Structure 1
């Protein structure tokens, strides 16, 4: 692993500063900076990863999961996805037949009784109290159609067969897979939730122009995407869930959900009619 900075560099942008703070916290929690670089450039629209701002450039390649088998005769998977349908679309990309389910939202019932679920801020260890140990958490994919790679975290007692199924499924969908430590929000989810929270406070709380916030972040953080783009892709409600998971795990934090982000989530939820079956 390349050397990393332990102190935040001077950045004249609150959103970029919050982003880099979360990166340093992830590294302190055991995440590999090369992997963070690869995930943010390969799934979230960053031109350069945070190491360009935090540490000297290195030649190390981010480690990826070895290819895992996915049966040529693929059984139908039971899945229901809430919101953008990212999991369902990933399964379609892998040419996997799907059965409808109404038991859980955003959950794939894998072979070998494993469970794959999108991150909502809870760790795999926490989710194991509901679904058992064979649970694997999928990191946030703001735009799965443009993603090249993704992170997974497994329960510490997850069986090799269940983990192989989750990795093989995503590899069959054309994604490179990183296995990362089981921390709340994983990598992209945690970082983007913090970015959206800070940007919402600047726009809604301090009256800053959203275009100005986007432009400054793109310039300082070396990103082609920006907070307003991620807000449309991810949604304020999902960001609140991720932040709540961080606070539940770590206790009160500096990046607690702001009233501005809560207002944004409430506006989004009341803008669409609620359909009751």
Structure 2
């Protein structure tokens, strides 16, 4: 018996269903149910929320979310081999777990969820960043989610919370911190997973702000930031020269020295530059 419910330990589940992790799917299974319950708790109060989970695998985090009181969990899983194990969890928590087989990049989860909605996932490494960027850049804000509690490679997690002046600071930090509060809530060593990845992992919790931290046109801000960091070693007057013929004047108007490099410029000043370019 596991510590959080009446279902078998995950090692038994994996053995009985023949679920070896597949590198091609970015799979690394977290088998310690005490850890998965801790991750679920870091997502906040789940009792009045639906939860979207991407890549549940054999269901370790799924069980943690349900045991911690999630109103309803929608689990999207690409690997058909995992479905029997997930269906066993659904039977143990009647009416509270819906499992959909498919690619999370192609499925609209909102057809199956009722607000308020939290997202909690041990994201497959090969799609994690793309999903995060999608959730941070919807056409309308506030987004469908109130919070994201996501596991990444530690290097990616550090990029999300990075501050100006650090090597990790870049486009991901700008996108995350413009519209949310982001913090690392847990670190996990490779040994916590089966098979152990070559890198450490970390869980990031992002809470959606009611409106962006500073005013800016989203598409223009994304364009400015992408251009700035694509050539991060260049001075901004060179990296951004294609945006406007008077880019040096625009930079100065935003409080940025034309000789600055992208990694030294704050979120607030990037937003000021986007406003200056729009004006």
Does the TM-score normalized on the shorter chain lie above 0.5?
A: no
TM-score when scaled to structure 1?
0.29
TM-score when scaled to structure 2?
0.29
Q: Which has the higher strand share?
A: 2
Q: Which has the higher helix share?
A: 1
Choose 1 or 2 for highest CA Rg. Answer: 2
